[in-house]
Amino acid sequence: MAICGARLIWDGAIVFAGTGLPVLSSVLAQNTKASNAKIIYEGGNIDTKNKDLPRSVSDPRLMLNCAAALDIRAALGEILQGGYVDIGFIGGAQIDRYGNVNSTVIGNYRHPKIRLPGSGGANDIASLAKNTFIISLHEKRKFVKCDYITSPGHLKGGKTRAKSGLRGNGPKYIITDLCIFDFEPRTKKARIKSLHPGVTKRMVLRAMRWRPIVPWKIPVTKAPTKQELQLLREKVDPKGVYLKE
Amino acid sequence: MWYNVDMPKQITLQEAADLIPSWSSVFIGGFAHIRACMAFSRELVRQEKHDLHFVSSGPTVHSDMLAGGNVVSRMEIAYGGIETIGPGPNIRRRVEEGDLQIEDYTNFSMTMRLYGGAMGVPFMPIKSMLGSDLETKTTFRSKAEKLALVECPFTGELVCLVPSINPDFGVIQVQRVDTEGNVQIDDALTSDVDGLKASDVKIVLAEEIVSPSVIRRNPKNTAVPGLMVDYIVHAPWGAWPTAMYNFYDYDQEHIEYYAKQCKTEEGWDEYMKEWVTIGEVALMMKIADRMKALKARKGLGY
């Protein structure tokens, strides 16, 4: 999953990495084909080239070799809202068919069943980046209608996002451990783009509560190469910060 | 000896926490894994403060500890979790049981609200929060108090206005401050500087208090000029178990232990007895061994 995320980052892209797996994918991308990708973290570390993997979006590890250590106003305001960011990369607890993401509550907002961390910078990233990538484990409880929309995707599909006053094109991909989704250009509904090796349509559809667009022919995601796996396990995350399983 | 009325007063950690009455609003610094005002928050728990109105962008372990100690009853924040772990265990329990209310904003909007407060203007325009439930749903604020959607008077573009905020007290933990109150921060500033500047009474806790000549040698590194600062406190290791760049790394093992322990009320009580109520001096003795391992290495800063 982390490798799929990394492969979708093109060289030279300016990437805003949200907390969790996006950090791993972004750092991996920088170590593979997108060596000129510039990574921004909301705490204020800009264009980082860290040696050790950060645990969070404001980690002292990001200081080593970064181009600038500024503040949230510069990162989220001047760079993100200013229109520099090509890819905003976030995770989330619930994801709907239009790529809207919930990371705030499960259940009723005022009387929640589960209180989650909340937006952090995710709403800002999803609102303002030119493209959003969403990365998440593929589970039935996660691919549902959102109880609360923390980070806006294509909202209700069609042109609703543009009408709400948001900038950026919204979600481009959802990357899971089973497949990659993109979005049908007119309706903005999620569509299976490729299935990971060994995964069937049935497996994907059984692990979610909404139905994506399922094309007749779906290509298979290229399997991770030995080099990619070795790089991920030995160089990028040797201590297993994100690779716990 | 000459005397300058503008000089900030140096006080102790206990005196600093004592300044803050219950029911007041506070900005307490710390973001993700860095510079959390941990010692200060532990002291607020020890002094049994209650019903504080907590304001920040993406606070971390300290805000969760304040929720655990029932020090805060309302929060205006963007993030109530501990990164790599998930929701703050105490925050989660308090919210689910109805003892704590969170008004959700985003890291950018909270930072801009504080920046607006610091600059003395009533609101700030931003381009996020639009279209999401952050725009439409509220908890203790009414929708009209949370934000306003307006068309720009010049271009007609839709923008979101967020109200500026001036907390009663602002507290941050930094690398160094001089006796005149000039603050230097060595790593990313997050929203700490905006939060402090927005607050009426400004308290700076520092790893070291240096002479003004040290600061004046590198004035470009000064994040807050001393003439704005009211109180300074010498609080070494005050951000443990979060990190202070150039001084010490975060103690991930302890943060994970904290998160595991605080999943239940009994666990939190136990943690509090073992790590909070014992006081800072006893705590420092207790973690003396860990300090050696966490001390920042030259050339890395962590």
- Domain-wise residue ranges, chain A: 2-236
Q: Are residues B13 and B135 in the same domain?
A: no
CA neighbours within 13 Å on the CB side: how many for B152? 11
Annotated catalytic residue: which of A42, A78, A228, A245? A42
Nearest CA in chain A to B91: A115
DSSP string for residues in A116-182: ----TTHHHHHHHSSEEEEE----TTTSS--SS-SB-SSTTSTTHHHHTT--S--EEEEE-SSEEEE
Residue B300 lies in a domain: no
Contact state of B92 with A155 under an 8 Å Cβ cutoff: no
For residues B30 and B55, membership in a common domain is answered with yes
Q: Which residue of B105, B131, B194 is in closest CB contact with A152?
A: B131
CATH number at B34 reads 3.40.1080.10
Interchain contact, B252 vs A55, CB within 8 Å: yes
> Is B257 inside any structural domain?
yes
Of the candidates A20, A118, A127, which has its C-beta nearest B130's C-beta? A127
Choosing among 3.40.640.10, 3.20.20.450, 3.40.1280.10, 3.40.1080.10, the CATH entry for A2-236 is 3.40.1080.10
Residue B3, pLDDT score:
46
What pLDDT is stored for residue B1 in this prediction?
41
Which residues 6+ apart lie within 8 Å of B289 measured at CB?
none
Chains A, B: CB contacts within 8 A come to 205
By C-alpha distance, the chain B residue nearest A164 is B131
Q: Are residues B32 and B141 in the same domain?
A: no
Among the listed residues B96, B133, B79, B136, the one whose alpha carbon sits nearest the alpha carbon of residue A101: B133
In this structure, are strands B231-234 and A131-135 parallel, antiparallel, or unpaired? Answer: unpaired
Residue B1 lies in a domain: no
- Residues from chain A that touch B109, judged by Cβ atoms under 8 A, are 124
- Asked if residue B175 and residue B159 are part of one domain, the reply reads no
Chain A residues touching B302 at Cβ < 8 A? 60-61, 63
Residue B88 and residue B135 in one domain: no
What is the number of residues in chain B? 302
**Is residue B272 domain-resident?**
yes
A78 is annotated as an active-site residue: no
Total tally of structural domains belonging to chain B: 2
Check A115 against B58: CB less than 8 A apart: no
Chunked into runs of 10 residues, chain A (245 residues) has average pLDDT values of 95 94 95 95 96 94 96 98 98 97 97 97 98 97 98 97 95 98 98 97 98 97 95 92 74
CB contact under 8 A, B115 and A60: no
Of B136, B118, B91, B19, residue with least CA distance to B268: B91
Nearest CA in chain A to B246: A60
Q: What are phi and psi of A23, to 5 degrees?
A: -65, -45
Task: Determine which of A48, A71, A166 to mutate to test the interface with B (most B C-beta atoms within 10 Å).
Answer: A71
Do residues B85 and B140 share a domain?
no
Contact at CB, B128 and A58, closer than 8 angstroms: no
**Closest chain B residue to the Cα of A45, Cα to Cα:** B188
| Residue B24 CB coordination number (10 Å) | 16
Q: Which pLDDT belongs to residue A245?
A: 45
The verdict on residue B81 lying in a domain is: yes
Q: Tokens in use for A98?
A: 């239009």
The pLDDT averaged over each successive group of 10 residues in chain B (302 residues) is 68 98 98 97 98 97 98 98 94 97 98 98 98 97 97 97 98 97 97 98 98 96 96 98 98 97 98 97 96 95 95
The answer on B236 and B194 residing in a single domain is yes
The Cα–Cα gap between B100 and B95 comes to 5
What would the two tokens of residue B111 be? 């930072």
Please state, in angstroms and rounded to a whole number, the distance separating the CA atoms of residues A214 and A96: 16
Give which of A41, A91, A124 is closest to B108, Cα–Cα. A124
Q: Could you tell me if B158 and B170 lie in one domain?
A: no
d(CA A55, CA B75) in angstroms, rounded, equals 25
If asked whether residues B76 and B158 sit together in one domain, one would say no
> Is B202 inside a domain boundary?
yes
Inter-chain touch B132–A123, beta carbons under 8 Å: yes
Q: Domain span at residue B257? A: 9-106+166-294
Q: Is the ipTM of this complex over 0.95?
A: yes
* Chain A residues with beta carbon closer than 8 angstroms to that of B296: 60
CB contact under 8 A, B96 and A72: no
Question: What angle (nearest 5°) sits at the alpha carbon of residue A182, between those of residues A178 and A188?
Answer: 135
